[in-house]
Chains A and B, each alone.
Chain A
Amino acid sequence: MNKLFRIDWLSILYCVLLLAAGLANIYSAAYTLDNAEVAWSVLEKQLISLGLAVVAVLLIQFLDTKFFERYASLLYLFSIFALLGLWVMGTEVSGARSWYAIRSFSLQPSEFAKVALALALAKHLGDFNTQIKRRKDYLIAFLLICIPAGLTLLQPDAGTALVLLGFFLVLHAEGLPQLFLTALLSLFALFLLTLVLGVTWVLVLLSFGLVLYLFFQRKRKRIIWPAVFTVLVFGAFTYSVSYIFEEVFEQRHRDRFNIILGKEVDTRGIGYNINQSQIAIGSGKFSGKGYLEGTQTKGGFVPEQQTDYIFTTVGEEWGFLGSITVLGIFILLLLRIIRVAYKQKTTFARVFCLGFACTLFIHVAVNLGMVVGLVPTIGIPLPLMSYGGSSLLAFGLFLGIYIRIEYQRTVA
């Protein structure tokens, strides 16, 4: 009995709450007035996935943390091969070659790459010889992130690639030189500015900023060349952003950005999803329209409602109260995992937990940001709530290892 108390029940409670909310809303989203059986069959499939996930969580509890540390590299390599294998045996679904189809079940290897990457990074940083501030070590870490991220981007699956790239945040939390985050944020701001203002204006602003900066600096001679160099790099970046946006991006990507930036409003075409999603959530008001009473949900106005847009059902049928409850539980869960992470005694354990939290955070932030219209449309499911087996199973693995790690810390 004593041992059972050492399990992180709080995290499990949050997860169970979210899973329950997910099931209820998946049922509602799939429920049609004339055919309730459809909803049951959808729910049934999700319950099977959930069962598999629970089994995974339970099975993991029989393994030692050392096992994962030892085989992390192997699992990572395996996941890379699985991603490569998609080019040979993958099935293309709506333009993306992201699935292995095994009979009626389909499996998304990129989901498991997240877990593998978390393990691999944890192992790399946990090594006695690794010093994240050293160039060689952080370059290896970058490589570990960029290989699977690049492979998923090629599928193309921008959403998962974004999640994988999100591990950069873990590196930052672990002490990566500040320069990288600063540079990243600057480039991101520059990216947005370029899209909003256009190349010319951004270049003008940059030059103006450079002149101002130099004017107020005393040791002008020493910094003049680095400063000019920086501006030149930024200028080149601006040009390349514009080039990539216009030449490399497809029209749908451009549209997605433009809608968020308020440049285009087209509620019938590309803006349909975001518009309908906001109508559904917005019409929920304070207390919602009631379970199974959502008119937008029943009418099927929101596309992909059971998967990526599951939160619209929450917003419409449970209203503001339901929305902030779900949001609150996610935040509590995230903070709980972070807290647990920093209690860990080994770097491996800490980095893995941070990786878990980071993955969860990127998912939640991008998904919720998307459905409320703050972030461009990127296909990322809402963890634990969206319909979909692979995602659920991947988070099952994360949760299982996380619980095992925390359990082992308290026992030791």
Chain B
Amino acid sequence: MRTGFFPLLIGFFGIVLFARLVSLQLLSNEYGDMSLQNSVLKQNIYPERGYIFDRNGALLVSNQPMYDLMVIPRNVRPFDTLDLCTTINISIEELNEQINKAKRYSMRAPSALVSQISKQDYAVLQEKMWKFPGMYIQRKSVRAYQTDVAANVLGYISEVNYFDMEQDPYYVKGELIGRQGIEKTYEKILRGTKGVNYLQRDKFNRIIGKYKNGILDTLPKPAKDITLSIDVDLQEYGTQLLANKRGGILAIEPSTGEILMSVSTPTYTPNLLVGRARSEYFNTLKQDTLNRFLFDRSLQGQYPPGSPFKVLNALIALEEEVIDTNTRFTCYSGHFYARNQFMECKCPSGVQNNLNKGIHNSCNTYFSNVYRKIIDKNNDAADGINIWSEHLSSFGLGNYLGYDHPVGQAGYVPNANFYNLWYPNQKWRGATTVSNAIGQGEILMTPIQLANVAATIANRGFFYTPHFVKGIQGTFIDPKYRTKRYTTISEEHFTPVIEGMANVVKIGTARIAQIPGVEVCGKTGTIENFTRINGVRTQLTDHSMFIAFAPKDNPKIAIAVIVENGYWGGRWAAPIASLVIEKYLKGNVKRAWLENRMLNGSLLDEYAKVTSNKPFAINE
């Protein structure tokens, strides 16, 4: 007899199993994770994305249902594949591939066979669904644009990518995120906060109930609607006026800083970026490097400001007391600003210009002298240009304005450091940088900066940070949009400059911009510009530029218009600006002849020159 045999055996077994249970249940963590992965489904509940309205309450962006055709491969029976393919417009190969993909994913869990079926296809498909066992239609919500304009302002949403998920762990694969424009800036307001349902899954991946009776579940927080400062009628009108032209219009309400319109052409219809054809359209838009559909000229376009910049020099000179309103300079259809260096001007030879005449005649000679007086005030060009640069910075130039749109450019304002680097022997003076006097030098500005300068002048010395948001449902907009930003120029210096700008329209270079009954103050610009064609620096037809505000007293709108390669300022930009102002202030436009000329005018031939591979003439 071996009495110890069984107890030994049992003891051995007990120790082995105890050790195994310790390692399985206490020491290893992987099994807990694996358990949650295969048995608990985290299902997100999304609040409907917020609507976007214009300043007058017109609905711009809402949501629309799109339909995904879902399939549960196990339940599929032989069906009329041709019928399905023609109904939803896909090829048989594509259908088979999708079904196989779904089978590989799971025989019992639903997968999307075709996503984003339009309302029209859905209507037909729905009638036939009984023919397709194992399939059903799942509704989901995508953006619906109620307007054909303002694509550049509104932006778009798209599926999150790896980077987004890395940046913000809120997002998971397959979710949508504001990718551009207002959709991006106000993403958190427009999306709300998703809720989560935890569901118990069974081995077939079917939902069999709530996990832990739903105690872990959270409710979604609803999204908020946004009202924009954009006037969609004005936006549409501006888009039409710029048809067949490349350029931008940006208008601001000076008393609030609200952006009334932000047009960039050529543009696209926002609805193109919704639905099954989205990526195809998007690539078309993105790959066009000449028209640059996705480039917002009103916010991102950096141009030399040209003559409108002269009013800034005038303001700085007055503030620095290097001139007064009566200071005169004689113009000989230009002047020598250095030995053998002549700057042309359109004034008749021998004209004596004071401030007012200098502005409304846009006299280059006058402003060259003004500029040199500013820079050489203390006989120290570096000091002078830094003072000048700081004055400009107070207008928000050379920096991002801080508006609520994700795209933009800072522009450029040079300072002493810049020229010290440029001229290493440090021998530079006011005359060396005299191009700055007429806005053609190193300075770069965007249309929104130009419009903001107009608004600042209209306000006689201050501006509000321009912004696209007018109101957010149930909350206030950022207080920074309600705070005045003062420039370094005293209020009294604006009056003579404004008189000059009024005369630009009354008797000066922009008489075409006159609106009966409205006193418009403006300044034209005709901007030399260059490009590289096959590596050769080539001058192109000037840009047509105009900044303005109206009415002169108690201004309601400040505007900047640029028409690329449109030649002189009074040719395109000034008429377009005045038509927009008339439309905004009076509701309708009386000058039909001018309106038609702008609407029908095309610069496509001008733009074709660049790619023609032939020599071409400019400014004709």
Among B6, B13, B17, B208, residue most surrounded by chain A Cβ atoms (within 10 Å): B6
- Other-chain contact of B21, A172, A295, A327 (Cβ < 8 Å): A327
27 A-B pairs within 8 Å (CB atoms) are namely A32-B208, A34-B208, A172-B2, A174-B1, A175-B2, A279-B35, A282-B24, A282-B30, A282-B31, A282-B32, A282-B34, A283-B31, A286-B25, A295-B35, A296-B35, A299-B200, A299-B203, A301-B39, A319-B25, A320-B21, A324-B18, A327-B18, A334-B6, A334-B10, A342-B3, A358-B6, A372-B17
Residues A323 and B25 in contact in the complex (CB < 8 Å), given A285-B32, A299-B200, A335-B10: yes
Which residues of chain A come closer than 8 Å to B22, judged between CB atoms?
Answer: 320
CB distance from B213 to the nearest CB of A (A): 9
Q: Does B16 contact A (CB under 8 A)?
A: yes
Complex CA distance for A32 and B202, rounded to whole angstroms: 10
Residue of A nearest to B27 (CB): A282
- Other-chain contact of B32, A173, A283, A293 (Cβ < 8 Å): A283
Selecting from A64-72, A202-210, A233-241, A361-369, the interface stretch reads A361-369
Complex CA distance for A96 and B462, rounded to whole angstroms: 93
Residue of B nearest to A283 (CB): B35
Q: Does B26 contact A (CB under 8 A)?
A: yes
Q: Kindly identify, within residues 306 to 327 of chain A, every residue whose CB is under 8 Å from any CB belonging to chain B.
A: 315-316, 319-320, 323-324, 327
The reply to whether A299 and B201 form a contact with Cβ atoms under 8 Å apart is yes
- What string of 1s and 0s marks CB contacts (under 8 Å) between B376-392 and chain A? 00000000000000000
Which residues of chain A come closer than 8 Å to B10, judged between CB atoms?
Answer: 331, 334-335, 338, 361
Which residues of chain B come closer than 8 Å to A34, judged between CB atoms?
Answer: 208-209
The reply to whether A279 and B34 form a contact with Cβ atoms under 8 Å apart is yes
The reply to whether A299 and B17 form a contact with Cβ atoms under 8 Å apart is no
Q: Does A90 contact B (CB under 8 A)?
A: no
Which residues of chain B come closer than 8 Å to A315, judged between CB atoms?
Answer: 21, 24-25
Which residues of chain A come closer than 8 Å to B7, judged between CB atoms?
Answer: 335, 338
Complex CA distance for A281 and B18, rounded to whole angstroms: 13
Q: Does B512 contact A (CB under 8 A)?
A: no
- Other-chain contact of B17, A32, A172, A284, A369 (Cβ < 8 Å): A369
Q: Kindly identify, within residues 346 to 370 of chain A, every residue whose CB is under 8 Å from any CB belonging to chain B.
A: 354, 357-358, 361, 364-365, 368-369
B residues touching A (Cβ–Cβ < 8 Å)? 1-3, 5-7, 9-10, 13-14, 16-18, 20-22, 24-26, 28, 30-32, 34-36, 38-40, 200-203, 208-212
Residue of B nearest to A328 (CB): B14
Complex CA distance for A3 and B234, rounded to whole angstroms: 106
Complex CA distance for A175 and B24, rounded to whole angstroms: 38
Q: Does A412 contact B (CB under 8 A)?
A: no
Which residues of chain B come closer than 8 Å to A378, judged between CB atoms?
Answer: none
Complex CA distance for A140 and B338, rounded to whole angstroms: 129
Given A320-B21, A323-B21, 18 more A-B residue pairs with CB atoms under 8 Å apart are A32-B208, A174-B1, A278-B24, A279-B31, A280-B35, A282-B34, A285-B32, A293-B212, A295-B36, A295-B211, A298-B209, A299-B201, A319-B25, A338-B10, A358-B6, A365-B13, A372-B20, A372-B24
Residue of B nearest to A331 (CB): B14
The reply to whether B6 and A361 form a contact with Cβ atoms under 8 Å apart is yes
The reply to whether B2 and A282 form a contact with Cβ atoms under 8 Å apart is no
Among B20, B21, B32, residue most surrounded by chain A Cβ atoms (within 10 Å): B21
Which residues of chain B come closer than 8 Å to A361, judged between CB atoms?
Answer: 6, 9-10, 13
CB distance from A166 to the nearest CB of B (A): 11
CB distance from A374 to the nearest CB of B (A): 6
Which residues of chain A come closer than 8 Å to B30, judged between CB atoms?
Answer: 282
Which residues of chain B come closer than 8 Å to A278, judged between CB atoms?
Answer: 24, 31
Residue of A nearest to B3 (CB): A342
CB distance from A317 to the nearest CB of B (A): 12
Q: Does A169 contact B (CB under 8 A)?
A: yes
Q: Does A33 contact B (CB under 8 A)?
A: yes
Residues A374 and B31 in contact in the complex (CB < 8 Å), given A299-B203, A319-B25, A354-B6: no
- Other-chain contact of A33, B6, B17, B200 (Cβ < 8 Å): B200
Which residues of chain B come closer than 8 Å to A300, judged between CB atoms?
Answer: 202-203
The reply to whether A169 and B31 form a contact with Cβ atoms under 8 Å apart is no
Complex CA distance for A354 and B4, rounded to whole angstroms: 12
Which residues of chain B come closer than 8 Å to A283, judged between CB atoms?
Answer: 31-32, 34-36
Which residues of chain A come closer than 8 Å to B17, judged between CB atoms?
Answer: 327, 368-369, 372, 374
The reply to whether B26 and A298 form a contact with Cβ atoms under 8 Å apart is no
CB distance from A28 to the nearest CB of B (A): 14
- Other-chain contact of B208, A298, A324, A368 (Cβ < 8 Å): A298
Residues A169 and B203 in contact in the complex (CB < 8 Å), given A280-B35, A324-B18: no
The reply to whether A298 and B21 form a contact with Cβ atoms under 8 Å apart is no
CB distance from B206 to the nearest CB of A (A): 9
CB distance from A349 to the nearest CB of B (A): 14
Which residues of chain B come closer than 8 Å to A354, judged between CB atoms?
Answer: 6
CB distance from B32 to the nearest CB of A (A): 5
Which residues of chain B come closer than 8 Å to A280, judged between CB atoms?
Answer: 35
Complex CA distance for A32 and B209, rounded to whole angstroms: 9
Nearest 7 CB-CB pairings of A with B: A282-B31, A33-B209, A283-B35, A295-B39, A320-B25, A299-B39, A299-B202
CB distance from A310 to the nearest CB of B (A): 15
The reply to whether B208 and A169 form a contact with Cβ atoms under 8 Å apart is no
Residues A175 and B39 in contact in the complex (CB < 8 Å), given A298-B202, A315-B25: no
The reply to whether B5 and A169 form a contact with Cβ atoms under 8 Å apart is yes
Residues A281 and B202 in contact in the complex (CB < 8 Å), given A169-B6, A295-B211: no
Which residues of chain A come closer than 8 Å to B6, judged between CB atoms?
Answer: 169, 173, 334, 338, 354, 357-358, 361
Complex CA distance for A316 and B20, rounded to whole angstroms: 15
The reply to whether A298 and B200 form a contact with Cβ atoms under 8 Å apart is yes
Residues A33 and B32 in contact in the complex (CB < 8 Å), given A172-B2, A174-B1, A301-B39: no
Which residues of chain A come closer than 8 Å to B3, judged between CB atoms?
Answer: 173, 342
Complex CA distance for A299 and B205, rounded to whole angstroms: 9
Residue of A nearest to B38 (CB): A301
Complex CA distance for A374 and B24, rounded to whole angstroms: 12
Which residues of chain B come closer than 8 Å to A293, judged between CB atoms?
Answer: 212
Complex CA distance for A80 and B25, rounded to whole angstroms: 43
Residues A374 and B18 in contact in the complex (CB < 8 Å), given A295-B200, A320-B25, A338-B6: no
Which residues of chain B come closer than 8 Å to A323, judged between CB atoms?
Answer: 21, 25
Complex CA distance for A172 and B17, rounded to whole angstroms: 24
- What string of 1s and 0s marks CB contacts (under 8 Å) between A143-159 and chain B? 00000000000000000
Complex CA distance for A301 and B208, rounded to whole angstroms: 13
Which residues of chain B come closer than 8 Å to A298, judged between CB atoms?
Answer: 39, 200, 202, 208-209
CB distance from A88 to the nearest CB of B (A): 38
Residue of A nearest to B12 (CB): A365
- What string of 1s and 0s marks CB contacts (under 8 Å) between A327-340 and chain B? 10001001100100
CB distance from A33 to the nearest CB of B (A): 3
The reply to whether A173 and B1 form a contact with Cβ atoms under 8 Å apart is yes
CB distance from B103 to the nearest CB of A (A): 15
Residue of B nearest to A365 (CB): B13
Complex CA distance for A373 and B1, rounded to whole angstroms: 34
Complex CA distance for A315 and B208, rounded to whole angstroms: 22
Complex CA distance for A172 and B28, rounded to whole angstroms: 38
Which residues of chain B come closer than 8 Å to A169, judged between CB atoms?
Answer: 5-6, 9
Complex CA distance for A175 and B30, rounded to whole angstroms: 47
Which residues of chain A come closer than 8 Å to B35, judged between CB atoms?
Answer: 279-280, 282-283, 295-296, 316
Residue of A nearest to B2 (CB): A173
Residues A324 and B32 in contact in the complex (CB < 8 Å), given A174-B1, A286-B26, A299-B38: no
Complex CA distance for A299 and B209, rounded to whole angstroms: 10
The reply to whether A281 and B25 form a contact with Cβ atoms under 8 Å apart is yes
The reply to whether B40 and A172 form a contact with Cβ atoms under 8 Å apart is no
